[in-house]
Amino acid sequence: MAEQNGTTARLKTRYRDEVVPALKDEFGYDNDMEVPRLEKVVINKGVGDAPENQKLLDDAVDELRKITGQHPSITRAKKSVASFDIRKGDAVGAKVTLRDTRMYEFFDRLVTLALPRQRDFQGVPDRSFDGRGNYTLGLPEQIIFPEIDVDRTDRIHGMDVAFVTTAETDEESYELLKALGMPFVRREEGEDEAAAEEERERAEREAALQAAREETDLFEEEEEEEPESPEASGEGEEAEGEEEDAAQAEA
């Protein structure tokens, strides 16, 4: 627990000493109270088969408790969905709302330990803001958290993590979360890479077409320079002989 408190204190200190001054300079806030802050983190795990299999729901609750250090609450269906055989009030998942110390501790472990354990991880997308300064991150697997024992996991589940901030705009929220350590990949970088890939493919197509044209031109030139066949040559000589005989007869 001392380690967790130390981690939380470090992140809070970072916010106070580094993030607040940086955001004040960037956005021109008059005082520290205007600077956006992280208000809460909500982790939600849906379990669609929970009405039929209580163990799946129990496992989801236990995993969220291990990951967050807080007992989850059960989420229930707000209305019936006949196609999924779900009735209003059925348990369909679990969620945890973290604030203050546990919120900062979870955030720190998420960005420093859990996210880098994803296969081929290169960062998180910056497209999932809601227009009001809140950000949602989808995690495909719960086993990226070191608290989860892979050998004792029966099924892989994803979860959604919502970061609720006091920021009024998505840009302010983006800068806040990035300053706290969220490893964003900017949209422009991805677009630049896609454009570069398209340019490479276009250049390859043009090179292939040019090579095909050159081969076609060479083939046509070879056909034009090809000597006449013996049969064609014989027909020409025979025609010339007939013309000479006709000229002698007239003479």
Which of 168, 185, 202 is the last residue before a domain boundary? 185
Q: Quick: pLDDT tens for 168-178.
A: 999 999 999 99
Residues 128 and 166 in one domain: yes
Residues 166 and 207 in one domain: no
**112 within domain boundaries:** yes
Which CATH number covers residue 12? 3.30.1440.10
The predicted model scores a pTM of 0.70
Give the range of the structural domain holding residue 133, as residue numbers without chain letter.
2-185
**234 within domain boundaries:** yes
**110 within domain boundaries:** yes
Residues 56 and 12 in one domain: yes
The whole-number pLDDT of residue 240 equals: 55
**250 within domain boundaries:** no
Residue type, 3: E
Q: Which tokens belong to 207?
A: 């090179």
- Rounded to whole angstroms, the Cα distance separating 61 from 137 reads 19
Which of 147, 167, 185 is the last residue before a domain boundary? 185
Residues 133 and 206 in one domain: no
Does residue 235 or residue 42 have the better pLDDT?
A: 42
**25 within domain boundaries:** yes
pLDDT over threshold 90, residue 201: no
Q: Quick: pLDDT tens for 79-93.
A: 888 877 788 888 888
With 0-12 CB in 10 A as exposed, 13-18 as middle and 19+ as buried, what is 165?
buried
Q: Which tokens belong to 30?
A: 């008059």
